[in-house]
Amino acid sequence: MSTRNDYVLEIEDLGVSFDGFKAVDGFNFYLNAHSVHVIIGPNGAGKTTVLDLICGKTKATSGKVKFKGREMRGLREYRIVRAGIGRKFQNPSIYENLTVLENLEISHPSGRSIFRCLLFRRTPAIQAQIHAIATQIGLQDHLDTEAGILSHGQKQWLEIGMLLMQDPEIIMLDEPVAGMSVRERTETAALIRRISTNRSVIVIEHDMDFVREIADRVTVMHLGQILSEGSMEKVSNDPKVIEVYIGH
């Protein structure tokens, strides 16, 4: 009990099978508070499925997902979100018809129930929070821009900003720099480092240079199982990892 109190998220023996095919099997994962934990692995290794299992999008067939000691498995998605786990999708999913400001506002937790949402007013406090987060994601000058016309990179940042509005303790990012330019990658890395000062971040990524820049800890997945885990240095020297990545 006492030793595990440091972990925000404890996953034990997590597994899911689709018609007998085990997409994720015997997955153990411990997430430290205020750290960036990157999951890497070849295509089809089950990385995205792990995120789906944590956030409840896919129902696990075995195992435990404990967030601060509380079992999350079996809860509905919105309950998991309200508990404090936020998730960004691989393709930027933002509300294209709304402005940047409205996108951020709609993600603010205060109007999640129907009646609060109907009576919602943009208070100065919320306004200030929106501005602070917009500044963090570099969109402070685009608050009134319709989100649909933002660049690809800006859309990715906006979605991260929407997660920040929810103020979750864990943020899960699925390939946040896919399709970004080098400069945008650098900025995203800085952003991720910044937001991990007071929350934990799980990132799925392919780009090794990017992983090296952001990761406190790395888990390598292969065929639904954990192949290796540790610091970036340790895993990149692991013969099993080298075989999977280079041996093919």
Partner 1 sequence: MAMLRTLFKTRGEALSFACFALLILVVLPIALPVFRLNLVGKYLSYGFVGIGLVLLWGRCGILSLGQGVFFGLGGYCMAMFLKLEASDPVSTAIQSTPGIPDFMDWNQITQLPTFWEPFRSFPFTVLSIFILPGLVAFLIGWAMFRRRVGGVYFAIITQAIALILSLGIDGNQGYTGGRNGITDLRTLLGWDIRSEHAQHVLYFLCVGLLLSCALLAKYIINTRFGRVLMAVRDQEERVRFSGYDVAMIRTFTFTLAAMLAGLGGALFVLQVGFMSPSLIGIVPSIELVIFAAVGGRLSVVGAMVGCLLVNFGKSAFSEAYPDLWLYLMGGTFIAVVMFFPDGLAGLFSKWDTLKYRASSLLNRLLPGRSNAPSDPSITPASPSAK
Residues in contact with partner 1, total (CB under 8 A)?
30
Nearest distance in Å: CB 112, partner 1? 5
Q: Does residue 126 belong to the site contacting partner 1 (CB under 8 A)?
A: no
Q: Does residue 89 belong to the site contacting partner 1 (CB under 8 A)?
A: yes
Q: Which of 84, 59, 57, 58 is nearest to 70 (CA)?
A: 84
Q: Give the residue, chosen from 14, 55, 226, 227, that forms a contact with partner 1 under the rule CB under 8 A.
A: 55
Nearest distance in Å: CB 41, partner 1? 23
Which span (4-12, 79-87, 189-197, 220-228) binds partner 1, by CB under 8 A? 79-87
Q: How many helices (H) and strands (E) does the chain have?
A: 10, 10
Nearest distance in Å: CB 14, partner 1? 19
Nearest distance in Å: CB 111, partner 1? 5
Indicate the DSSP class of residue 73.
Answer: T
Instruction: Give, in degrees to the nearest 5, the angle at Cα 198 between 192 and 201.
Output: 45
The amino acid present at 117, given as its one-letter code, is C
Q: Does residue 77 belong to the site contacting partner 1 (CB under 8 A)?
A: yes
Taking the C-alpha atoms of residue 169 and residue 7, their distance in angstroms, rounded to an integer, is: 12
Return the residues of window 97-116 that contact partner 1 according to CB under 8 A. Answer: 97-98, 102, 105-107, 109, 111-112, 114
Work out the number of other CB atoms within 10 angstroms of the CB of residue 69.
Answer: 11
Which span (37-45, 71-79, 131-139, 176-184) binds partner 1, by CB under 8 A? 71-79
Coil, strand or helix at 235: helix
Q: Which of 26, 6, 28 is nearest to 16 (CA)?
A: 26
Q: Does residue 129 belong to the site contacting partner 1 (CB under 8 A)?
A: no
Alpha helical stretches, state H, the chain: 47-55, 77-83, 100-106, 114-118, 124-136, 152-166, 182-195, 208-214, 232-236, 239-246
Which span (89-97, 207-215, 221-229, 237-245) binds partner 1, by CB under 8 A? 89-97
Nearest distance in Å: CB 152, partner 1? 16
The structure tokens listed for 21 are: 């095919």
Return the residues of window 145-174 that contact partner 1 according to CB under 8 A. Answer: 162, 166
Taking the C-alpha atoms of residue 109 and residue 139, their distance in angstroms, rounded to an integer, is: 20
Nearer to partner 1, 50 or 81 (CB): 81
Q: Give the residue, chosen from 96, 209, 233, 243, that forms a contact with partner 1 under the rule CB under 8 A.
A: 96
Work out the number of other CB atoms within 10 angstroms of the CB of residue 209.
Answer: 10
Return the residues of window 207-246 that contact partner 1 according to CB under 8 A. Answer: none
Residues forming a β-bridge with 28: none
Give me the residues that bind partner 1 (CB under 8 A), please. Answer: 55, 57, 76-78, 81-82, 86-87, 89, 93-98, 102, 105-107, 109, 111-112, 114, 117-120, 162, 166
